[in-house]
Structure 1
Amino acid sequence: MDTTVQYTQEKNLDWQEFLETLVASSLGERRPIEDLERIKAMVENANLVITARIDNKLVGVARSVTDWVFCTYLSDLFVDEAYQKLGIGKELIRQTKLASPQATLILLSAPKAVEYYPRINMTRHPNAFILNNINDLA
C-alpha cells in the first residue's frame, strides 16, 4: 500500500466524504452520523479543515473553529482505522497548529484517545467544562 500522505487545508470539503471517513474511524460512534443535516452543517461551518489523503482517498480530518490569533478549537480529529498508526493524526494536529500559529490549540479528547495526546506532548488541562443542554444550566 502506498502511504504517501497529502495534507491540505480544504475550504470546501464534501460533507459526504467527511461522513464516510468519520464512520471509518472510531470517532464516528461519538458523532451524530445519522443526522445528515447536522453533519453537513458541521463541515460547512468549520473555518479550518485540514485533510489527509492517500491516492486522493480521504483518510483523516482535523476540523476546527478558530479566530486565528487566540484560540483554535480542534473539534474533530479522526483517521480511518485502516490508516491509523502511520502518524497521520499527529501530522493533522501539527498542520492545524501551523495554520494558526499564534492561537492556543484546544481539544477535548474522545475517551478512546485520552492516552494518545500526552504521548505526543500535548498538555492535559483540568479546567475544561461542557454544557450539552441549555435546560441543565442552573
Structure 2
Amino acid sequence: MNMDIIYALEPRLSANEFHDVLVASTLGERRPVKDLARLERMLRDANVIITARHEGRLVGISRALSDFSFCCYLSDLAVDAAYQHRGIGKRLIAETHAQAGPETTLILVSAPAAEGYYPKIGMNQHMSCWTIARKK
C-alpha cells in the first residue's frame, strides 16, 4: 500500500467525512454517529481539526479544543482500522499539539481499548480526571 499520507489543518471538514472515519475506526462506537447534525456542531465548535488523507480519502482525524496559551483538549483521535499501526495517530497528535502551540499541555481521555497505546508514544498518564456525564 502506498503510504503517502497528507496531514492538514481542515477547519471546514464535512460531517459526512467525519462520520465515515469515526465508523471506520473504533471511536464510532462511542460517538453520536447516527446524529449528523450533532457531528456537524462538534466540528464547527472545535478549533483544531487535523486530518490525515491517503490519496484524497480521509483516514484519520484529530479534533481538539484549545485556548492556544495553556491547554489543548484532544477530544477525538480516530484512525481508520485499515490504517492503524502505521504512525498516523502519533503524527495527528504531534500536529495537533504543534497547532495549539508550545505553551499548551495536550490533554486527552483514552478509550479503554487504547490505554496501552499512549505510553508507547511518549504520553504520560495523569491519574486525576473528573467528569460529569452528558445527559444525552
TM-score (norm: length of structure 2)? 0.95
Q: Structure 2 counterpart of 1:118, which letter? A: P
Q: Secondary structure at the match of 1:59?
A: strand
The aligned residue for residue 132 of structure 1 is: 133
Q: 2:106 aligned with 1:105, yes or no?
A: yes
Report the number of matched residues: 134
TM-score (norm: length of structure 1)? 0.94
Q: Percentage identity across aligned positions?
A: 49
Q: Secondary structure at the match of 2:8?
A: strand
- Deviant stretches of 4+, over 4 Å: none
The aligned residue for residue 120 of structure 1 is: 121
The aligned residue for residue 23 of structure 2 is: 23
- 1:1-138 to structure 2, matched below 5 A, reads 1-100=1-100, 101-133=102-134
- Which structure 1 residue ranges, 5 or more long, are not aligned? none
CA distance in structure 1 between the aligned counterparts of 2:6 and 2:65, rounded to whole angstroms: 22
CA distance in structure 2 between the aligned counterparts of 1:91 and 1:121, rounded to whole angstroms: 12
- Give the root-mean-square deviation of aligned CA atoms: 1.0
Q: Secondary structure at the match of 2:109?
A: coil
- Which structure 2 residue ranges, 5 or more long, are not aligned? none
